[in-house]
Amino acid sequence: MTLAHLPVVTDPELSCVEASDLCLSFGATPALRGASVTVVTGEILAVMGPSGSGKSTLLHCLAGILRPNSGEVRFRGRRIDALGEEERSTLRRDHFGFVFQFGQLVPELTAEENVALPLLLSGTRRTQALGAARELLAQVGLDGLGRRRSGELSGGQAQRVALARGLVGRPEVLFADEPTGSLDSLNSEHVLELLVAATHQFGTTVVMVTHDPRVAAYADREIVVRDGKATSLTPGGGST
């Protein structure tokens, strides 16, 4: 089934994360001005749009990191924007994985410790967590670098470590902000294959911010964020 032509989904079975009418300002700067988006369960959704248009802010609201000033965010039909800090933090830990745009690894920890972090935080035994981490590092093409401190990795290597960390807990939803931003074409493809494999194997839903159309082409469909609003375009013309 291709998801590209689906209309706005209201069925809670199909809708994984749903946001309506989000507004958020940083001081006097409006970052989101009435953004609505539905993420369908099991899909890879690409979030595109010009720099500064609000993509990262939208992603952070969908993931329960930022709270919008107004509007609603639902995960599996349940309001999450109104939850307190602690509850959102638990929700993120138990259901979501993250690959951030900037500075996300702990430089003093080794690559495999960084990858194992989400598992360690949710109480997995250390040996088991590190084993899972090594397995994922191999999958992103970094076997052998597990003991390297992450501050001593190249930009592209660090990004693959971050992706491995995002996937290690087999999250229901992976939120990824420019996950291939500092990778060359071949390594990007490798990483994207991993994402696609994760959606097939574990049913992971992926929300991925990217400005690169070749990366977006791995997604099932795309939305475009402009001036803090999200538009979903369908190839037949028109928007939803």
Partner 1 sequence: MSVPLALLGLLEREPSYGYDLKRDYDAYFGRGKPLQFGQVYATLARLTRDGKVTPGEIEPGGGPDRKLYAITDGGKHEFETWLSQPIDPAPNLQTDLFVKVVFALMLGRSAEGYLDTQRAAHLQRMRELTVLKRKGDLVDALLADHGLFHLEADLRWIDMTAARLPALAETVRS
In the complex, the residues that contact partner 1 under the rule CB under 8 A are 4, 50, 193, 196, 213-214, 216-220, 222, 224, 231, 233-235, 237-239
Residue type, 155: G
Smallest distance from ligand ATP to CB 149, Å: 27
Smallest distance from partner 1 to CB 213, Å: 5
| CA dist., res. 237 & res. 46, Å (int) | 18
Please name which of 203, 206, 158 lies closest in space to residue 180, comparing C-alpha atoms: 158
| CA dist., res. 138 & res. 6, Å (int) | 36
Q: Does 57 bind Mg ion (CB under 5 A)?
A: no
Residue nearest to Mg ion (CB): 56
Smallest distance from ligand ATP to CB 145, Å: 27
Residue with tokens 């930009």: 155
Query: Which partner in ligand ATP, Mg ion, partner 1, none is near 26 (CB below 5 to 8 A by kind)?
Result: ligand ATP
Query: Which partner in Mg ion, ligand ATP, partner 1, none is near 57 (CB below 5 to 8 A by kind)?
Result: ligand ATP
> What is the token pair recorded at 5?
């032509």
Q: What is the DSSP string of 137-170?
A: HHHTT-TT-TTSBGGGS-HHHHHHHHHHHHHHT-
Q: Which is nearer to ligand ATP, 48 or 164 (CB)?
A: 48
| CA–CA–CA angle 234, 235, 240 (5° rounding) | 15
Choose the stretch contacting Mg ion; rule: CB under 5 A; options: 53-61, 154-162, 189-197, 227-235: 53-61
Q: Which of residues 164-223 bind Mg ion (CB under 5 A)?
A: none
Q: Which is nearer to ligand ATP, 88 or 134 (CB)?
A: 88
Smallest distance from ligand ATP to CB 132, Å: 30
Q: Does 56 bind Mg ion (CB under 5 A)?
A: yes
Query: Which partner in Mg ion, partner 1, ligand ATP, none is near 88 (CB below 5 to 8 A by kind)?
Result: none
209 Cβ contact list (under 8 Å, min separation 6): 46, 47, 48, 55, 56, 59, 101, 176, 177, 178
Query: Which partner in Mg ion, ligand ATP, partner 1, none is near 136 (CB below 5 to 8 A by kind)?
Result: none
Q: H or E segment at 115?
A: helix 111-121
Smallest distance from ligand ATP to CB 68, Å: 12
The contact set with ligand ATP (CB under 6 A) reads 26, 29, 31, 49, 51-57, 101
Beta strands in the chain (DSSP E): 15-26, 29-40, 44-48, 70-75, 78-79, 96-99, 173-177, 205-209, 221-226, 229-232
Query: Which partner in ligand ATP, partner 1, Mg ion, none is near 210 (CB below 5 to 8 A by kind)?
Result: none
Q: Note the residues at the interface with Mg ion (CB under 5 A).
A: 56
